[in-house]
Structure 1
Amino acid sequence: MFHHTRIRLAATAAAAVAAMALTACGTGSDDEIVDKPKAKASAKADSGSGNEKDPAAEKSSAAPDVAKVGDTLGLKGVEAGSELDVTVLKVVDNAKSSDEFFAPESGNRWIGVQFQLVNTGTKVYSDAPMNGAKMADDQGQQFGTTIADITAGPSMSADVRLKPGGKALGWIVFEVPKASKAATVTFGMDSGFAEQIGEWKL
């Protein structure tokens, strides 16, 4: 009896250690910040008529800067074959509510960020994208998302499912103090538990 109890305790301890290791994978110091944008091949083609922009585009693709609004980051999820191209298309500070009865709390404002997600992997992407998004100000304070509809456009769905090659587009809203200066926005797959976290400078 005593022997069996010891075996059970050892097995329980081993399971607890394994669970701690799995938890550490998603939120620990092994996280990788991805902030180098992908080359903009389509942007070069679009700006073919504007000769003045070509040298800058070439420099940008030769030595990518830190990602900013308009840039695309390639991110990986927890499972093999789970990958997204994520683009921050637009940012609207002091975003206005499309519902007259719903507004930011007193002393706060809304900042809307329009994300485009493209499934570049081999597995179906299924997640609530707003769970993996965060905003930080220039003081290092971090802010989560809020469920809100804004006049800038349709919100990102709370339940996105994309087959390989599929796309999703929508606004994610953050509530921040009026005095805060937004510095970065981040996005991670698997509700933010993936080791790769994309970061855009605002």
Structure 2
Amino acid sequence: MRQRTGRLLGPLLVLLLVGAGPDGSGETVSLDGDRPGERLDVTLTRVVDPAGRADSERLVAVELRLENTGSVPYEDSPAPAAHLLDTAGQRFTGTAAATGAGPSLPDTVTLAPGDSASGFVTFRVPAGAGLAAVQFALDAGLGDDVGHWSLS
């Protein structure tokens, strides 16, 4: 299931729940940034698991498509804006590390209104970890508006 969290209003966090496919892929979430006119449509295109091995960890790569649907340029670092949650409740921050899954999103993405970019964000997770969800927020992951794709 896909979730979109709204702005934090006092202690109340508003959640909008919408159904998604079993791997969360193909679903688009519209996210507002902190600046007026900042809006991005984010699509989880696919999940590659495993995308490689690193020591006792495995690499998981998620392909994201970012489209600037706002009225101002979007410039941000997508890797730290992405998080992978495992079934034990641990949260892993994305990196721009290369894998055989495909090209990574660049360290910094700059999109004029109407432009889009696609690429992978990589996560290092324990070898036996079960995958639960992917999250993405603007403003290097610190934005109040959070896209959530369930992977189970």
Q: Does TM, scored on the shorter chain, surpass 0.5?
A: yes
Asked if residue 72 in structure 1 is aligned to residue 28 in structure 2, the reply is yes
Instruction: Report if the CA contact (8 A) 1:34-1:199 is conserved.
Output: no
Structure with the largest fraction of helix: 1
1:172 to 121, 124, 147: 121
Identity of paired residues, percent? Answer: 36
Asked if residue 152 in structure 1 is aligned to residue 101 in structure 2, the reply is yes
1:130 to 56, 75, 79: 79
Equivalent pairs, count: 142
* Alpha-carbon distance in 2 for matches of 1:146, 1:34: 27
Which protein has the larger Cα radius of gyration, Structure 1 or Structure 2?
1
* Alpha-carbon distance in 1 for matches of 2:71, 2:102: 30
Q: CA RMSD in A?
A: 2.0
Q: Which amino acid aligns with 1:121?
A: G
Structure with the largest fraction of strand: 2
Task: Rate the CA distance shift 1:29–1:159 in 2: closer, same or farther, 3 A.
Answer: farther
Instruction: Report if the CA contact (8 A) 1:35-1:200 is conserved.
Output: no
Task: Rate the CA distance shift 1:109–1:73 in 2: closer, same or farther, 3 A.
Answer: same
1:109 to 58, 61, 82: 58
Structure 1, unaligned runs of 5 or more = 1-24, 37-64, 97-102
Instruction: Report if the CA contact (8 A) 1:115-1:170 is conserved.
Output: yes
* Alpha-carbon distance in 1 for matches of 2:145, 2:26: 19
Aligned match of 1:95? 51
Q: Which amino acid aligns with 1:79?
A: R
Aligned match of 1:81? 37
* Alpha-carbon distance in 2 for matches of 1:118, 1:133: 15
Aligned match of 2:88? 139
Shift in Å, 1:146: 2.9
* Alpha-carbon distance in 1 for matches of 2:12, 2:123: 26
Farther-moved stretch of structure 1 (151-160 vs 110-119): 151-160
Aligned match of 1:197? 146
Task: Rate the CA distance shift 1:33–1:196 in 2: closer, same or farther, 3 A.
Answer: farther
Instruction: Report if the CA contact (8 A) 2:67-2:114 is conserved.
Output: yes
SS in 2 for 1:192: coil
Instruction: Report if the CA contact (8 A) 1:128-1:159 is conserved.
Output: yes
Instruction: Specify which structure has the bigger relative contact order, considering alpha-carbon pairs within 8 angstroms and separated by 6 or more residues.
Output: 2
Task: Rate the CA distance shift 1:155–1:121 in 2: closer, same or farther, 3 A.
Answer: same
Instruction: Report if the CA contact (8 A) 1:30-1:195 is conserved.
Output: no
Task: Rate the CA distance shift 1:127–1:158 in 2: closer, same or farther, 3 A.
Answer: same
SS in 2 for 1:130: helix
* Alpha-carbon distance in 2 for matches of 1:83, 1:30: 23
